[in-house]
Amino acid sequence: MKKKDLETIKKQLIDEKTRIIRHLEELAGSSTEEMQFNSGDPADIASLEISQSGLQKIGKREKLLLKKIDLALQKMEEGTYGECEQCGEEIAIGRLMARPVAQLCIDCKTEQENSERKFNEDNGDYEDSEFDIVGEEEE
């Protein structure tokens, strides 16, 4: 992956994490000492860990998204970002641009969705396991 592309995606991830943190701050209110988040430095935001009590305030969906963002940022540090978790192939750049938190290539994702849909239909509870950060599905 080109360094420039990686930087672009990293910025998207940090922007999204910042948005979640801001939301959490709103929920927590100014009286909560644990959420003193004043830094605008992207590096600080990337490594910022949100406390358990803070996590309890945000919704399940945001919590999951946050986890994925942190995982993606961690992979960037390790140099493994963009590899499919399942088959190890590189995930297409267009897919990563649209979904920076994608952990699977489109082939593995399609396969997973098919089996998940089947599983969840059985349980009567279908929930998308991957969220769009930017824009709509373009695949």
Residue ranges binding Zn ion (CB under 5 A): 84, 86-87, 105, 108
Q: Which is nearer to Zn ion, 87 or 134 (CB)?
A: 87
H/E stretch holding 41 reads none
Q: What is the dihedral of CA 133, 72, 130, 117, to 10 degrees?
A: 160
Residue 129: CB minimum distance to Zn ion, A: 15
Q: Which is nearer to Zn ion, 28 or 103 (CB)?
A: 103
Residue 27: CB minimum distance to Zn ion, A: 36
Residue 1: CB minimum distance to Zn ion, A: 16
* DSSP state at residue 49: P
CA-wise closest residue to 5 among 105, 67, 82? 82
CA-wise closest residue to 87 among 62, 72, 109, 67? 109
Cβ pair 101, 133 in contact under 8 A: yes
Residue 137: CB minimum distance to Zn ion, A: 18
Q: Which is nearer to Zn ion, 8 or 86 (CB)?
A: 86
Q: Which is nearer to Zn ion, 14 or 81 (CB)?
A: 81
